């Protein structure tokens, strides 16, 4: 039994090390992935989860908002491209409208996406408050509101 064990350990140890390095790189990419990237003015935004493939337990909630796009799916496509470059997966949680006034330190979140559904605006507000840049902002999140 010891001979078999030694053989198995010597052959599997390098495989496990390579697997661990691969997973560690993906987790590092997830940790380094920016949580908030929004423009200024009135914009369509999405709330999404970014995660390592097969490991939804290790995920990060992110917000992306882009002014002058026609559809929320365009914003989600940009997020998917950004995540795919780092070998990460995404799951959209919904969308809405955001009005971002950088001068007044004010953000208003409302509405819904026709295609992606309504994002949890209160969760979006929490993600923004946790971000260093927007922690001092006044953020209004409406549960109702206009359609996008």
Q: How far apart are alpha carbons 92 and 48 in whole angstroms?
A: 4
How do the pLDDT tens digits run along the chain, 148 residues long?
Answer: 566 565 555 555 554 444 554 567 888 888 899 999 999 999 999 999 999 988 877 899 999 999 999 999 999 999 999 999 999 999 999 999 999 999 999 999 999 999 999 999 999 999 999 999 999 999 999 875 454 4
Sequence-separated (6 or more) residues with CB below 8 Å from residue 128: 36, 63, 107, 134, 137, 139
Based on the structure, what is the number of domains in the chain?
1
82 in a domain, yes or no?
Answer: yes
Domain that holds residue 135: 33-141
23 in a domain, yes or no?
Answer: no
SS3 92: strand
Phi, psi torsion values for 54, nearest 5 degrees: 85, 0
Instruction: Please say if 72 is a catalytic residue.
Output: yes
132 in a domain, yes or no?
Answer: yes
Per-residue DSSP letter, 145:
-
- Check: CB of residue 99 under 8 Å from CB of residue 108: yes
SS3 129: helix
12 in a domain, yes or no?
Answer: no
24 in a domain, yes or no?
Answer: no
120 in a domain, yes or no?
Answer: yes
Q: Is the pTM of this model over 0.95?
A: no
7 in a domain, yes or no?
Answer: no
Q: What CATH number should be reported for the domain holding residue 120?
A: 3.50.20.20
At 16 the pLDDT is 47
At 148 the pLDDT is 47
54 in a domain, yes or no?
Answer: yes
Per-residue DSSP letter, 133:
G
The active-site residue, picked from 53, 72, 100, 131, is 72
The answer to whether the annotation marks 44 as part of a ligand binding site is: yes
Task: Render 11-77 in DSSP notation, one character per residue.
Answer: HHHHHHHHHHHHHHHHHHHHHHS-SEEE-SEEEEEEEEEEEETTEEEEEEEEEEEEET-S-HHHHHH
Q: How far apart are alpha carbons 57 and 82 in whole angstroms?
A: 20
């Amino acid at each position: 039994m010891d001979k078999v064990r030694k053989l198995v350990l010597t052959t599997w140890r390098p495989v496990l090390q390579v697997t661990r390095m691969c997973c560690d790189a993906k987790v590092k990419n997830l940790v380094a992935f920016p949580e908030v990237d929004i423009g200024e003015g009135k914009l369509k935004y999405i709330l999404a989860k970014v995660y390592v493939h097969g490991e939804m337990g290790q995920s990060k909630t992110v917000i992306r908002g882009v002014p002058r796009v026609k559809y929320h799916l365009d914003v989600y496509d940009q997020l998917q491209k950004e995540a795919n470059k780092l070998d990460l997966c995404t799951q959209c949680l919904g969308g809405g409208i955001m009005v971002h006034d950088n001068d007044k330190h004010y953000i208003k979140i409302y509405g819904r996406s026709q295609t992606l559904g309504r994002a949890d605006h209160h969760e979006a507000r929490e993600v923004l408050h946790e971000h260093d840049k927007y922690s001092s902002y006044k953020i209004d999140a409406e549960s109702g509101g206009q359609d996008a």
